[in-house]
Amino acid sequence: MSANVKSFYRVYRPKSFAEVVGQEFITKTLSNQIASQKIGHAYLFCGTRGTGKTSVAKIFADAVNCENFQDGKVCGQCSWCQNPNKTMDIFEIDAASNNGVDAVRDLIESVKYPPVVGKYKVYIIDEVHMFSGAAFNALLKTLEEPPVHVIFVLATTEPHKLLPTVQSRCLRFNFQNVALTEIEKVVKNVFQKEKLVAEDAAVTLIAKEGQGSVRDALSFADTVAAYCGQDKITVTAINRVVGGLDSKVFTDLVAQIMATDAQGVRATVQQIFNSSTGVARILAGTLAAIKDAYVKQPSPRLATALRVFANLEMTLKYATDPHGYFETAALVACGA
């Protein structure tokens, strides 16, 4: 059973509000709305990729239809929960691939008909900002006066691209980037269930790779686990897997920083960025090499280097030119 075939993200996707990571405010509010029967007809889920928008939308679509939703959970017993055809009332549309007015017309046409199994038909529209102008206008009319049995959940990574008139008709929820510690827990949990052994530092590195997205972290975990097979998952293995960078390049960089070899630093940074390795891995590799060197022989220059690179983490995450920032940091550390 190869890990890359079954995709951790799909297998371990949350199936209930309680399993959703890092969006407690949203899952709690939605649970309360369902429990008190104060359900809106249009929701807008905003947030970066992999923060759980579609997962929450699916859980919500199921939960609004359960006849006995309690304590944030569907009952599993009612005619909805037990009905194998319940997906007939839940529609998922990917606006990125169906962005024309025709797709919306079909949707609007079907909105008229009552649900087949449950109380509500739920339309989940992913990447809704991709709809064309004409498609949006068509959708707007339905959003203005939705039939009582219809709920729209519009999900988007780019809410600023939506017309204000669309935004104002929706109940908006902002999905947060998931905290590193939360993603670490998810990765650890998945590895445990898969009976894979991993270094703590490797788990952290994988979680960082997600940059706030559980999905990205888990798909990176897929790649790493596929490479490692039944072997222990280590930082060294991760660095070797992706981009083919081994730790020697980072050891070289640190040696050049120590030797105030600015030219060498520039060349090594170039070599590092020529690999396809992600920024989080580059930074983790560099920090690990500096720490190793410091343990062997402490020095103010290494301490400075450690501080310079540790401070770079947030900058690199949002930088459009991580290469430039990284090189500057290396040169600063080098004292050049």
Residues contributing to the site for Zn ion (CB under 5 A):
66, 68, 74-75, 78, 81
**Residue nearer to Zn ion on the CB measure, 78 or 306:** 78
**Residue nearer to Zn ion on the CB measure, 119 or 149:** 119
Nearest to 125 by CA among 101, 105, 98, 89: 98
| Smallest gap from residue 114 Cβ to Zn ion (A) | 19
By the 10 Å C-beta count (0-12 exposed, 13-18 middle, 19+ buried), 248 is classed as: exposed
**Residue nearer to Zn ion on the CB measure, 30 or 290:** 30
**Residue nearer to Zn ion on the CB measure, 32 or 270:** 32
By the 10 Å C-beta count (0-12 exposed, 13-18 middle, 19+ buried), 264 is classed as: middle
| Smallest gap from residue 57 Cβ to Zn ion (A) | 18
| Smallest gap from residue 76 Cβ to Zn ion (A) | 6
By the 10 Å C-beta count (0-12 exposed, 13-18 middle, 19+ buried), 202 is classed as: buried
Distance CA 266, CA 165 (A): 51
Distance CA 324, CA 330 (A): 10
Q: Concatenated DSSP letters for 260-317?
A: T-HHHHHHHHHHHHHS---HHHHHHHHHHHHHHHHHHS--HHHHHHHHHHHHHHHHHH
By the 10 Å C-beta count (0-12 exposed, 13-18 middle, 19+ buried), 270 is classed as: exposed
Q: How many C-beta atoms lie closer than 10 Å to residue 165's C-beta? A: 12
Q: How many C-beta atoms lie closer than 10 Å to residue 9's C-beta? A: 20
Tokens encoding 75: 């009952």
**Residue nearer to Zn ion on the CB measure, 36 or 320:** 36
| Smallest gap from residue 81 Cβ to Zn ion (A) | 3
Which strands, in side-by-side order, build the sheet including 121-126?
90-94, 121-126, 150-156, 42-46, 171-174
| Smallest gap from residue 59 Cβ to Zn ion (A) | 13
| Smallest gap from residue 117 Cβ to Zn ion (A) | 11
**Residue nearer to Zn ion on the CB measure, 9 or 69:** 69
| Smallest gap from residue 86 Cβ to Zn ion (A) | 10
**Residue nearer to Zn ion on the CB measure, 66 or 214:** 66
| Smallest gap from residue 16 Cβ to Zn ion (A) | 12
**Residue nearer to Zn ion on the CB measure, 66 or 279:** 66
Residue with tokens 């788990």: 203
Strand, helix or coil at 26?
helix
